Structure 1
Amino acid sequence: MKNINAINLCVTYNCNSRCNSCQIWKIKDSPNINISDLNNFLNQKSLKNLKEISITGGEPTLHPEIIEIARIISEVKNVNEIYFTTNGIRTEKIIEILDVLYRSRKNSSGCIS
């Protein structure tokens, strides 16, 4: 298997918007990614050259452990770019997440979509 250098990590399908262009909010009973599965996934050999991670969803700020997820992602060894996509509704949580990512000293950016 080839090494992967970039991933989009959907942490939840839950969403607090009802956009016609996406409609991810219509997905019911889909579990959130859990911390154990995230750690196992990020430790795969095929991800040893991973350089970029994009945190997406649904709306990632609705994941109950999003701060811990951001911390784990910010500590992945070779990753130097972290992107965070949000609908912008939960501003206090967004600031909290971006603070964790920016403190990692990696190139981090947030996108309100």
Structure 2
Amino acid sequence: MYTYSPKYIQFYPTLKCNLSCTFCFNRGISAKTEMNISDFKKIISIISDIGVQEIDMLGGEPTLHPEFSQIIDIICSKKLKITISTNGSHVEILEKIMSEYNNGLITVGVSVNSEEISRELRNYLFKYKPLIKSVFSKKCNIPETARKYLGVPGMKYYLLFMDTVCEEDLASSVPFHE
């Protein structure tokens, strides 16, 4: 038996993305073939057996995986918690998941970094109150689109520091101070 297991793991169902965010730590990575469902079932079974309690799902854009709904089904069948980090571009998929899995296992975090967001995404944000995230940089601290949601009852906001992946990032990133 395992004496220690991580509380959570990060899982990248796909590295494909439909946006080109300048702050993304996965930008420029070529999208490989997505994990197939058979392999995913094996991995989830193993991590569940060793005591992992939560999956932190990132990408690329996780909702672009062709079997995204099946992935959610498999994770929920093991009673694991899921945090899905998304750019919010596939609102219909997010709404389907939130309406089908109102079980307290799923948390959605939506990145709000652009100057405009769609009406569908705005409606989703007010209806489901996901986590709102934006990236702090020298160019922008809290985007105006994100400010609209500060103080909305039941909605949490996270301001994230930009990952510095390459030398070009240094011009925009804000270092932690001692």
TM band (smaller chain) = 0.7 to 0.9
Residue 15 of structure 1 corresponds to: 17
- Taking the aligned partners of 2:31 and 2:101, their CA distance within structure 1 comes to 29
Secondary structure in structure 1 of the residue aligned to 2:39: helix
What value does the CA root-mean-square deviation take over the aligned residues? 2.0
Letter in 2 for 1:66: F
Matching residue of 2:30:
28
- Paired residues in the alignment total 109
The residue number in structure 2 matching 1:101 is: 101
Paired residue for 2:44? 42
> In structure 2, how many angstroms separate the alpha carbons of the residues matched to 1:52 and 1:45?
10
The structure having more radius of gyration, on CA atoms, is 2
Equivalents in 1 of 2:105, 2:28: separation in Å?
A: 33
Q: In structure 1, what is the equivalent of residue 170 of structure 2?
A: none
The aligned residue for residue 63 of structure 1 is: 65
Deviations 1:50-91 (A, max 9, x none): 1111221100111100000011111114x2x32111001111
CA distance in 2, matches of 1:62, 1:56: 11
Q: Does structure 2 conserve the Cα–Cα contact (< 8 Å) formed by 1:82 and 1:108?
A: yes
Per the normalisation by structure 2, the TM-score is 0.55
CA 1:100–1:42: 2 relative to 1, 3 Å = same
Unaligned residue ranges in structure 2 (runs of 5+): 112-178
Asked if the contact 1:15–1:59 (Cα under 8 Å) also holds between the matched residues in 2, the reply is: yes
TM-score by length of 1: 0.83
Deviation at 1:98?
A: 2.7
Kept in 2: contact 1:11–1:33 (CA 8 A): yes
**Unpaired segments ≥5 residues, structure 1:** none
